[in-house]
Structure 1
Amino acid sequence: MVYFSTFFVSLFITLVLIPILTKLALRKHIVDEPGPRKVHTLPMPKLGGLAIATGTLFPIIIWTDFVAEIKGLVSGLVIIVVLGLLDDFYELRYREKFIGQFVATFVAIFLSRIYVTQLGSLGELNLILPLWIALPLTVVFIVGATNAINLADGLDGLAAGISLLSFGCIAYLAYISGEMPIFISSLAIIGAILGFLRFNTYPATIFMGDTGSQFLGFSAGWLSLALTQKETNPLSHVLPVIILGFPILDTLAVMLERFSQGRPIFIADKNHFHHKLLRIGFSHKEAVIIIYFLQCLLITFALIFRYYPEGFLFGGYLLFCLIVLCFFYIAERTHWVLRRSVNMDKDLASATLSSSTKDKINKGVFKIISFIIPILLLFLSLIPRQIPKDMGIISLLLLTIILVVYTTKREVWPRFFIRLNLYIAGIFLIYLANKEKIIWFQINMYYLQIIIFSLLMVLIAIYVKFSEPEYFQMTPLDYLIIFMIFIILLISHLPRKQIAMDNLSIFLAETMVFFWGVELILSHKFGKWNALSVSTLIVLFITGIRGLF
């Protein structure tokens, strides 16, 4: 239960803090102003990183054993958060940022004694570095990783999504290696990122700012090094480079381009890969999804070949870099611009069905979905043989919060807390339902559950087919989760697998379908008391009572 408590607490804290910090940032004018090198056109609050940091550090401090690498991580992150907030408030110069990053890295190294001492086998060489080389190399990598994620934060959800993939990889590798402190720390960060992406996926309502991007970059660099530099761990020593592969490539490419043109390498411009994708003609959302896909390729490569020689892995990464660089080089030299065709699928649907018919289909499908979701919630709350006591306490606490919120006259808060509780309860109940194979009346509830979710997915697809975009749209986060499901399915069928992941892929798929259904219902206006809100209260009550008794 420590694992799920860590994840849920970080998710909950982040989801609750972001609306509060959004209002605070707007009131105090802590915003990212539009500019020539920026994509957004309106001032955007940029305190999301503080929510990520709080949501991450709180469960880590409570539940993680303070071994050397965690002492270094937490100490370094505290400095990074202070540095990031100063930058978000006062816009520090790059020299001042570097000083702060170097201080954070040196403190982390001093407390943990973790260095890049092993590079593994590159060809016939088995490289073990002396301390006078290992120390500066460690500093360069950590500071480089910190800035790589920082520079990748150029489109809505981009840096957070890339980081989510990286930490998912680190969490899996830590779990199979028995490195539980690193695994729990990664889970805390994953929960915080998912909470943040709820508000940062295109179109974003808040940015993570330098606090968030530096926090994620430092964490990813540090945890990946701490995991792979242990002598007892057989993981390849170049995995950190591949886990952070796309941000590292993007950073090096843009700096080399600036240097070759005689421009300062630390002065921001619009020559990052995501800017180039926009110039080619891809939309904001499409550019983010493409980069997610490329990072997914690297993560899949890292997971499949995690025990292979360093020379093989590094060669594969160089080949990936070469292909990406060649694509952008050819696109720029030929001035290639994407030509868009008319969406024939939508046109055909419009031609074959009248607007009144489509409206009737949508209304009917919406009513069915609005009926299935509450029933599904009740069904899931009854399936598990036993509800953990922690979940029972959390459920009753959430129930109390909702009832208090419902006494207010503000319409926005009830909807927000219903969504928040549906996310938390849905994730946990779907997990428990997949974990246990319950038989009722000689029927395996696991298969019945899959049938219900499959039906729900078909209904959502029909609704999306004929609905207007304002009611439901696929977001980059949806595609990111789909990519992650495919990675898990692939890894789960590899030889020598060390963790059963079939249930995990089904869990993620069902969770995504459930969230789609919830968002579809919440996209329509309704009062405080309706089938969804009432079923949420009942489910929280049932879960709470079952957990305690």
Structure 2
Amino acid sequence: MEQNYLIYLLEAVVTTIVLGTIAIPLLKKLKARQSVREEGPKSHRSKNGTPTMGGIFMIFSAVLVLLFNKILDPAVLWLLFLTLGHGILGFLDDFIKAEKKRNLGLTAKQKMLGQIILAVLFCWGVVDTLHLPFSIAIPFTNIDIYIGAFYYIFVILVIVGASNAVNLTDGLDGLASGCCVIAFSAYAVYCYLSGNNDLGYFIIILAGTCIGFLFFNYHPAKIFMGDTGSLALGGAIAGISVMTRTELLLIFIGFIFVIEALSVIIQVASFQLTGKRVFKMSPLHHHFELSGWSEVHVVWAFWLVEGIAACSSLILSIASNPV
């Protein structure tokens, strides 16, 4: 079984690199280029015009590897539905930005509605397929809290929150893709130890696509994943947490995503309530940039924090409640 994880990881890495080599020139020809927001750091203006929508070949790569290896377990199919659904939602957002040559795509309400619909359908599907209990598992304990029908609301919050958090993290070259590699790898280990190998295979394939994407996305980035990629990866991470009943553990496994989202919430709340900003700019990675850190320095520091958080939480979870 261990060998399969390595094989699928390598297949995903190679497939993503091959598809990326083909897709990047095509995206340039189609003028699918990034429009950098005016209020962002001045150092980012050089990124204006960089091809985006790299999430297209990331998702396509994952699907190809899944189909080639016939990894089509019902749980995998529902996770694929959530991933593709968010990818399509992100693609619409990216397409509007590219077509209108602006930084604004779908409205916040349109995006939120799409995320909620996908979350409801996914929750209904996995509850019916996997017979999940309507309860929340408390990390690092054996405690389950039954919440009944509120479970649907809880899952919606997890999916909407996680997909948006990964989207917010995708602001520096390689930042989101690198953090996703770490989070997916932690979940792959969790699934391997619990014997949930089909789900684990899909997760390691997603990790492989992110590694392959880093070949193009590491600084200086040749392409960005766009909302097509970040929403899809965020939806996938949220779906994995629901299927493995580790929704609250995701706070620690996806620590960087959480603090990036919190930094935006704190910044907005502070400015609206007091007229003052807590950070020089949000999300948090921009605060460090404006504090004098280089982009590469910020990315490596965030990767390190994410790695420590994911590994520590995984070890503590397994130690306190063996899977």
TM-score band by shorter chain is 0.7 to 0.9
Letter in 1 for 2:83: L
Structure 1 counterpart SS, 2:136: strand
Match of 1:69 in 2: 75
Structure 2 counterpart SS, 1:47: coil
Structure 2 counterpart SS, 1:128: strand
Contact between 1:118 and 1:237, CA under 8 Å: does it hold in 2?
Answer: no
Pairing 1:273-284 to 2, within 5 Å after superposition: 273-284=284-295
Structure 2 counterpart SS, 1:85: helix
Contact between 2:135 and 2:144, CA under 8 Å: does it hold in 1?
Answer: yes
Match of 2:182 in 1: 165
For 1:283 and 1:116, the matched residues in 2 are separated by 46
For 1:198 and 1:125, the matched residues in 2 are separated by 41
State the shift of 1:121 in Å: 5.0
User: Is 1:102–2:116 an aligned residue pair?
Assistant: yes
Contact between 1:71 and 1:112, CA under 8 Å: does it hold in 2?
Answer: no
TM-score by length of 2: 0.85
User: Is 1:56–2:62 an aligned residue pair?
Assistant: yes
For 2:31 and 2:120, the matched residues in 1 are separated by 33
Match of 2:296 in 1: 285
Contact between 2:120 and 2:152, CA under 8 Å: does it hold in 1?
Answer: no
Match of 1:139 among 156, 175, 180: 156
- Describe the superposition over 1:465-520 as per-residue Cα deviations: whole angstroms up to 9, x where unpaired: xxxxxxxxxxxxxxxxxxxxxxxxxxxxxxx9x9xxxxxxxxxxxxxxxxxxxxxx
State the shift of 1:188 in Å: 0.8
| Change in 2 beyond 3 A, CA 1:274/1:77 | same
Match of 1:381 in 2: none
For 1:83 and 1:259, the matched residues in 2 are separated by 27
For 1:64 and 1:179, the matched residues in 2 are separated by 16
Letter in 2 for 1:293: L
Match of 2:262 in 1: 252
Match of 2:107 among 88, 93, 107: 93
Structure 2 unaligned runs (5+)? 97-104, 274-279
Contact between 2:139 and 2:248, CA under 8 Å: does it hold in 1?
Answer: no
Match of 1:33 among 29, 32, 35: 35
Q: Which moved more, 1:197-206 or 1:123-132?
A: 123-132
Aligned residues: 300
Letter in 2 for 1:10: A
State the shift of 1:303 in Å: 2.3
Contact between 1:32 and 1:43, CA under 8 Å: does it hold in 2?
Answer: yes
For 1:9 and 1:123, the matched residues in 2 are separated by 34
User: Which one scores higher on RCO, CA 8 angstroms, separation ≥ 6?
Assistant: 2
- Describe the superposition over 1:51-102 as per-residue Cα deviations: whole angstroms up to 9, x where unpaired: 1101112222343543342121112222222211111111211111111212
For 1:74 and 1:239, the matched residues in 2 are separated by 22
- Describe the superposition over 1:383-420 as per-residue Cα deviations: whole angstroms up to 9, x where unpaired: xxxxxxxxxxxxxxxxxxxxxxxxxxxxxxxxxxxxxx
Q: Percent identity between the aligned chains?
A: 24
Pairing 1:426-445 to 2, within 5 Å after superposition: none
Contact between 1:72 and 1:112, CA under 8 Å: does it hold in 2?
Answer: yes
Match of 1:204 among 211, 221, 231: 221
For 1:257 and 1:278, the matched residues in 2 are separated by 16
For 1:19 and 1:254, the matched residues in 2 are separated by 34
For 1:122 and 1:34, the matched residues in 2 are separated by 39
| Change in 2 beyond 3 A, CA 1:243/1:260 | same
Pairing 1:260-409 to 2, within 5 Å after superposition: 260-262=270-272, 270-307=281-318
State the shift of 1:4 in Å: 4.0
Contact between 1:37 and 1:270, CA under 8 Å: does it hold in 2?
Answer: no
| Change in 2 beyond 3 A, CA 1:121/1:224 | closer
| Change in 2 beyond 3 A, CA 1:116/1:37 | farther
Contact between 2:89 and 2:111, CA under 8 Å: does it hold in 1?
Answer: yes
Pairing 1:458-497 to 2, within 5 Å after superposition: none
Q: How well do the aligned residues superpose, as a CA RMSD in angstroms? A: 2.5
Letter in 2 for 1:286: H
TM-score by length of 1: 0.51
Structure 1 unaligned runs (5+)? 230-235, 264-268, 311-495, 499-549
For 1:257 and 1:237, the matched residues in 2 are separated by 25
Contact between 1:120 and 1:309, CA under 8 Å: does it hold in 2?
Answer: no
Structure 2 counterpart SS, 1:119: strand
Contact between 2:134 and 2:149, CA under 8 Å: does it hold in 1?
Answer: no
Contact between 1:31 and 1:46, CA under 8 Å: does it hold in 2?
Answer: yes
Pairing 1:505-516 to 2, within 5 Å after superposition: none
| Change in 2 beyond 3 A, CA 1:237/1:12 | closer
